[in-house]
Amino acid sequence: MNMLTKKDLIPEELPQLKDLMGEIKKISNSITIGETLFMKKYGVKSEAEYKLKCIKEGKIMRHAHIGWNSWEETAKGFKYIYDELTKRGLTLDRFGVCLDWVMGVPKELRYKVNKGTGLIFDTPEEWKQVGQIVPIQPHFGDHMIGSLNSVENVKLALEAGVTTMGNVSQFYTYEYPGLMDKSSRVIGMVKAIGIMAEFKDKGALIHANLDDGFGAQFHDLANLTGWAMLERYIVEDLIGGSLSHCFGNLFSDPTLRMIFLLTMDEINDKNSLGSMLYGNTIDFSNDYDKNYGALSSFQIADMAAQMYRPTGHAVTPIPITEAVRVPSPDEIVQAHVISNMLEEKAKHYSLFMDWEKISCEKDKLVMGGQIFFERVMNGLEDIGIDIKNPCELFMALKEIGAARLEEYFGVGKKDPYAMRGRIPLRPTDIVWTINNKEKKISENIKNLEKSLEGVKIVLGATDVHEFGKEIVKSVLLKAGAKVFDLGSSVDPQEIIDTIIETESKFVVMSTFNGIALSYAKNLCELFKQNKLKPTFFMGGLLNENMDGGGLAVDVSDKLEKLEVICSNDVNTLIDEIKYRMVS
């Protein structure tokens, strides 16, 4: 692995699972799974039990993602959505409650972090209230398993009656800079998965949204399939849990969504139930009319696939405003009314789909995935990683990162001119989309080639969402700029260090998670402390929750007062950089 050693990946000794089992069992014995209104209404002890009923009855479940930051507004929204859908004779099965990133931090450390736009619980009673407003089952995905607060959050969620929770994939990409050492974080995550494993027979499902983790960074779907095998091996074979893979955020091609669902089902040898299929957010923009088309496209595909191969996954109709702001209750209701209408039409598609052709594509991904899985396992074992130790595996894989995993172990044909040195067996939608959008943007910029030759630019994303950053990077490289890409969830101090080391004069940051102003203030203060005066651009979703309001609001005007250049137009970005090169 190009001179990587075990010490590079795992600097200190990590415990075996057997060393943690005493504490895992002690904590598990203190937990009693709560009962939600949903469980009472449907006579089930877990969401998994309900999923099995749905599969037997041919019912498609639906999921709604909820992102309000006050409990009062959330409870009010729950009730409004439930009442409005009930009036129309429609059902919503599960809410995905978007917890603030603060919830991924132990209470004693929360004073060190800025609040985002998600929900924050302060007491066990507040956790329990989530399932007691309406008979819709809560799901916790963000900042749970894989965070710095894995064990405590799993305990509180189970006691609140939440039996499906995530998000293992976020361990690899969600960061909480400077708050906890790496070893403590990974040990906490393994304990949390172990606790969930103790409740497997009672329906506990461990959720992992591939697109929140390295799935957003892999270029080849065959490698992503192998990655899913690795996650399943660690969670199920080593720790004994039941893993539910979610995907969809970054899958634009409706046929590819069907292919990948069958692929994930094929590698699911323990027959774990699915959590949800997330909506395609690649095609969503501030053009609401186009968003209706994107919504219809992926909903029909997801429902047709569930009719052919029911896996327990709920479908997720995305409100048309989600790319611009946190959707309102009415907009969530609207998306679910559309989804229910589309289900009637999906029945016709499902009967005439060429499932044999789709299965052939699935077989290619499974074959490639198996090769990737074996190469990674052999490579890790060769440098002394204990592949029976979940703590060591989790940490080693995170430290290597998606890019190097593909470079070292990818299944695509080697090509020095291809991204990461290999031609993908099947490129991800995001790679295809990046290439396509970058090509169109580049064609529309006059005299782009070499126009920024030699210009040093520090690039990064404030959170896990790298899609916009990758498009900008491709255009900047085509213009001849020297780009120092810091990746996702970038610590502001890393930007400072890179500017000093590279003498870069420009910083370009993408943001999505509702901390645009806080992040910019932090970074600008560091500029001042270090006597640096780079030109600072921000793009993406430039919003933040202000003054305790329920929804995040645009903060572009406040960013501009900090002398941040707000830009979601690559043409404008290039022109601004050119202007400052000569001024």
pLDDT of residue 514: 85
pLDDT in tens, 380-439: 999 999 999 999 999 999 999 998 999 999 999 998 666 677 889 999 987 887 777 777
Place of tokens 């910083």: 507
pLDDT of residue 2: 65
- What is the SS3 assignment for 213? coil
Q: Rounded CA gap, 150 and 156, in Å?
A: 10
Residues 6+ apart with CB under 8 A from 399: 8, 9, 10
Residues 6+ apart with CB under 8 A from 234: 390, 393, 394
- Is the same domain home to 324 and 450? no
What is the radius of gyration, based on Cα positions, of the chain? 23
Asked whether residue 410 is domain-assigned, the answer is no
Looking at residues 545-550, what average pLDDT do you find?
70
Centroid of chain to Cα 8 = 26
Looking at residues 542-567, what average pLDDT do you find?
87
- What is the SS3 assignment for 99? strand
pLDDT of residue 581: 83
Q: Is the separation of the CB atoms in 485 and 460 below 8 Å?
A: yes
pLDDT of residue 222: 98
pLDDT in tens, 17-46: 999 999 999 999 999 999 999 999 999 999
Cis-peptide, bond into residue 167, ω within 30° of zero: yes
Q: Is the separation of the CB atoms in 476 and 161 below 8 Å?
A: no
Domains in the chain, number: 2
pLDDT in tens, 294-345: 999 999 999 999 999 999 999 999 999 999 888 999 999 999 999 999 999 9
pLDDT of residue 583: 62
Q: Rounded CA gap, 223 and 211, in Å?
A: 13
pLDDT of residue 207: 98
pLDDT of residue 58: 97
Among 352, 387, 406, where does a domain finish?
Answer: 352
Asked whether residue 407 is domain-assigned, the answer is no
pLDDT greater than 70 at residue 291: yes
pLDDT of residue 1: 64
- Is the same domain home to 338 and 462? no
Q: Rounded CA gap, 99 and 118, in Å?
A: 5
Looking at residues 214-234, what average pLDDT do you find?
96
Q: Rounded CA gap, 314 and 278, in Å?
A: 9
**Higher-pLDDT residue of 575, 396:** 396
pLDDT of residue 546: 80
Q: Rounded CA gap, 271 and 249, in Å?
A: 23
Q: Rounded CA gap, 413 and 423, in Å?
A: 5
Among 352, 367, 393, where does a domain finish?
Answer: 352
Residue 243, phi then psi, degrees to nearest 5: -100, 135
* Average pLDDT over the chain, rounded to an integer: 94
| Cα within 13 Å of Cα(350), Cβ side | 18
Domain carrying residue 527: 445-582
Residue 413, phi then psi, degrees to nearest 5: -65, 135
Q: Is the separation of the CB atoms in 37 and 131 below 8 Å?
A: yes
Asked whether residue 210 is domain-assigned, the answer is yes
Q: Rounded CA gap, 230 and 370, in Å?
A: 10
Q: Rounded CA gap, 367 and 425, in Å?
A: 11
Looking at residues 229-257, what average pLDDT do you find?
98
Asked whether residue 41 is domain-assigned, the answer is yes
Asked whether residue 123 is domain-assigned, the answer is yes
- Is the same domain home to 347 and 450? no
**CATH code: domain of residue 254:** 3.20.20.240
- Is the same domain home to 297 and 148? yes
Closest CA to 515 of 548, 545, 491: 545
Give the lowest-confidence range in 75-84, 155-164, 218-227, 322-331.
Answer: 322-331
- Is the same domain home to 451 and 345? no
Asked whether residue 401 is domain-assigned, the answer is no
- Is the same domain home to 335 and 473? no
pLDDT greater than 80 at residue 65: yes
Asked whether residue 495 is domain-assigned, the answer is yes
Q: Rounded CA gap, 237 and 282, in Å?
A: 33
Q: Rounded CA gap, 266 and 256, in Å?
A: 15
Q: Rounded CA gap, 9 and 519, in Å?
A: 29
Place of tokens 């040093």: 456
**CATH code: domain of residue 527:** 3.40.50.280
Q: Rounded CA gap, 272 and 302, in Å?
A: 18
Place of tokens 């946190």: 326
Closest CA to 144 of 113, 178, 168: 168
Centroid of chain to Cα 191 = 22
Terminal C-alpha separation, the chain = 46
Closest CA to 580 of 520, 534, 531: 534
- Is the same domain home to 450 and 345? no
pTM above 0.75, yes or no: yes
Asked whether residue 467 is domain-assigned, the answer is yes
Q: Is the separation of the CB atoms in 395 and 182 below 8 Å?
A: yes
Looking at residues 496-514, what average pLDDT do you find?
95
Closest CA to 403 of 462, 490, 485: 485
pLDDT of residue 549: 63
- Is the same domain home to 320 and 464? no
pLDDT in tens, 346-363: 999 988 999 999 999 999
Alpha-carbon distance values, 549 to 69, 104, 512, 523, 544 (Å): 8, 22, 18, 24, 10
pLDDT in tens, 469-499: 888 988 898 899 999 999 888 999 999 999 9
Looking at residues 119-148, what average pLDDT do you find?
96
Structure tokens at 53: 């009923």
pLDDT greater than 90 at residue 90: yes
Among 320, 352, 384, where does a domain finish?
Answer: 352
pLDDT greater than 90 at residue 466: no
